[in-house]
Amino acid sequence: MGKRSVIPFGPQHPVLPEPIHLDLVVEDEKIVEAIPSIGFVHRGLEGLVTKKDFNQMTYIVERTCGICSFGHGMGYVETIEDIMKVEVPDRAKYLRTIWFEMSRIHSHLLWLGLMADAFGFENLFYQAWRIREKVLDMIEMTTGGRVIFSVNKVGGVIKDITPEMQAKILDDLKEVEAETKRIATTFLNDYSVKSRLCGVGILTKQQMIDLGCTGPFARASGLNNDIRLRGYEAYKDLDLEPCISTDGDCYARCDVRIQEIFQSIDLIRQACAKIPAGDIAVPVKGNPNGEAFVRLEQPRGEAVYYVKANGTPHIDRFRLRTPTFANLMGLCEMLKNTELADVGILAVTIDPCISCTER
Amino acid sequence: MIELRNPENVLIEIEKGELLAKVAEFKKKNNRLCQICAAYVNEKFELSYSFVDDETNLMSNIRLVVDPSEEVPSVTEIVPDALFYENEMKELFGVKIQNISLDFQDKLYRIAAVHPFGPQGPMGVSDGAEAATPENTVVAKAQAAKADAKPADDKEGK
Confidence of residue B130 (pLDDT cuts 50, 70, 90): very low
**What pTM did the predictor assign?**
0.84
Check pLDDT > 60 for residue A124: yes
- Count CB pairs under 8 A between chains A and B: 106
Distance CA A331, CA A38 (A): 13
pLDDT at position A181: 92
Distance CA A305, CA A315 (A): 13
Contact residues on chain B for A83, CB-CB shorter than 8 A:
5
CATH superfamily for A42-358 is Cytochrome-c3 Hydrogenase, chain B (1.10.645.10)
- Are the Cβ atoms of A47 and B124 closer than 8 angstroms? yes
A56: closest CA of chain B, how far (Å): 17
pLDDT at position B122: 65
**pLDDT per residue as tens digits for the range A136-159:** 999 999 988 888 888 888 888 998
Pairing of strands B71-73, B96-98: parallel
Distance CA A350, CA A255 (A): 13
The rounded percent of chain A whose pLDDT value lies above 90 is: 26
Q: What is the mean pLDDT of residues A49-71?
A: 83
pLDDT at position A180: 93
Helix intervals (H) in chain A: 54-62, 69-84, 90-118, 122-143, 163-189, 191-197, 205-210, 215-219, 250-274, 323-335, 343-349, 354-358
Q: What is the DSSP letter of B108?
A: S
Distance CA A279, CA A341 (A): 54
Half-sphere exposure of A264 (CA within 13 A, CB side): 28
Amino acid residing at A357 = T
Distance CA A305, CA A62 (A): 12
CATH number, domain with residue B152 = 3.30.460
Confidence of residue A82 (pLDDT cuts 50, 70, 90): confident
User: Residue A156 burial by CB count (10 A; 0-12/13-18/19+): exposed, middle or buried?
Assistant: buried
Distance CA A215, CA A81 (A): 25
| Number of Cβ within a 10 Å radius of residue A62 | 26
pLDDT at position B127: 40
Amino acid residing at A344 = G
- What length is written for chain A? 359
pLDDT at position A101: 93
Confidence of residue A230 (pLDDT cuts 50, 70, 90): confident
Is the four-CA dihedral B39, B44, B46, B47 of positive or negative sign? positive
Check pLDDT > 50 for residue A64: yes
Q: Spell out the domain ranges in chain A.
A: 42-358
Distance CA A231, CA B7 (A): 13
**pLDDT per residue as tens digits for the range B54-109:** 888 888 889 999 888 888 999 988 888 888 899 888 888 888 888 888 777 777 77
Q: Is residue B3 one of the residues assigned to a domain?
A: no
Residue with more model confidence, A252 or B152: A252
Please give the tally of structural domains in chain B.
1
**pLDDT per residue as tens digits for the range A267-293:** 999 999 999 988 888 888 888 888 888
Residue among B5, B108, B111 whose CB faces A82 most closely: B5
Tell me the residues of B at the A interface, defined by beta carbons under 8 Å apart.
2, 4-6, 8-9, 30, 32-35, 37, 39-41, 46, 48, 50, 52, 54, 57, 59, 61, 79-81, 83-84, 102, 104, 107-111, 116-117, 122-125
Secondary structure element (H or E) that encloses residue A231, with its range: none
Extended beta strands in chain B, E state: 9-14, 32-41, 44-53, 58-66, 71-73, 96-98
Q: How far is CA A195 from CA A119, A187, A198, A200, A331, in A?
A: 10, 11, 6, 9, 20
Q: A88, A321 in Cβ contact below 8 A?
A: no
**What does the mean pLDDT of chain A come to?**
87
Q: Is residue B2 one of the residues assigned to a domain?
A: no
**Does residue A85 sit at the B interface (CB-CB below 8 Å)?**
yes
Q: A141, A98 in Cβ contact below 8 A?
A: no
Confidence of residue A96 (pLDDT cuts 50, 70, 90): very high
Give the distance, in angstroms, between the CA of residue A53 and the centroid of all CA atoms in the same chain: 26
Distance CA A55, CA A318 (A): 13
Interface test with B, best of A35, A42, A84, A204 (most B CBs within 10 A): A42
Q: Is residue B4 one of the residues assigned to a domain?
A: no
Distance CA B117, CA B92 (A): 5
- Identify the closest residue of chain A to B26 by CA–CA distance: A210
* Cα angle value B65/B67/B72 (rounded, 5°): 70
- Are the Cβ atoms of B57 and A229 closer than 8 angstroms? yes
Q: Is residue B1 one of the residues assigned to a domain?
A: no
- Are the Cβ atoms of A329 and B81 closer than 8 angstroms? yes
| Number of Cβ within a 10 Å radius of residue A28 | 12
Confidence of residue A97 (pLDDT cuts 50, 70, 90): very high
Q: Is residue B38 one of the residues assigned to a domain?
A: yes
**Does residue A52 sit at the B interface (CB-CB below 8 Å)?**
no
Confidence of residue B4 (pLDDT cuts 50, 70, 90): low
Residue among A47, A211, A321 whose CB faces B123 most closely: A47
Residue among B41, B84, B116 whose CB faces A325 most closely: B84
**Does residue A290 sit at the B interface (CB-CB below 8 Å)?**
yes
Confidence of residue A131 (pLDDT cuts 50, 70, 90): very high
Amino acid residing at B135 = E
Distance CA A32, CA A12 (A): 22
pLDDT at position A1: 65
Distance CA A106, CA A128 (A): 9
Range of the domain at B114: 9-157
Q: Is residue B42 one of the residues assigned to a domain?
A: yes
pLDDT at position A270: 92
